[in-house]
Amino acid sequence: MTTNYELCIMNYELNIRKATQSDAHLIASVVAMAIGEESAILYGGENYMNVFEEIALLENSQYSYRNAFVAEINGNAAGAVVAYDGAELYPLRKATLDVISKHTAKELQMADETDASEFYLDSLAVLPEYRGFGVGAKLIHAVKERAFNEYNKNLGLLVDFENPDAERLYQSVGFERSDVKDFLGHKMWHLVVKTTRL
Domain of residue 48: give its range: 4-193
Structurally, the chain folds into a number of domains equal to 1
Asked if the structure places residue 198 within a domain, the reply is no
Supply the angle between the helices 135-145 and 164-172 in degrees, to the nearest 10. 60
- Give the pLDDT confidence of 85-114 residue by residue, as tens digits: 999 999 999 999 999 999 988 788 888 999
User: Sorting pLDDT into bands at 50, 70 and 90, what band is 139?
Assistant: very high
Q: Is this prediction's pTM over 0.85?
A: yes
Whole-angstrom distance, CA of residue 32 vs CA of residue 51: 11
What is the distance, to the nearest Å, from the Cα of residue 198 to the centroid of all Cα atoms in its chain? 24
pLDDT confidence of residue 108: 80
CATH number at residue 53: 3.40.630.30
- Indicate the pLDDT class of residue 158, thresholds 50, 70 and 90: very high
The answer to whether residues 60 and 92 touch, using CB atoms and an 8 Å cutoff, is: yes
Q: Can you tell me the mean pLDDT for 73-80?
A: 96
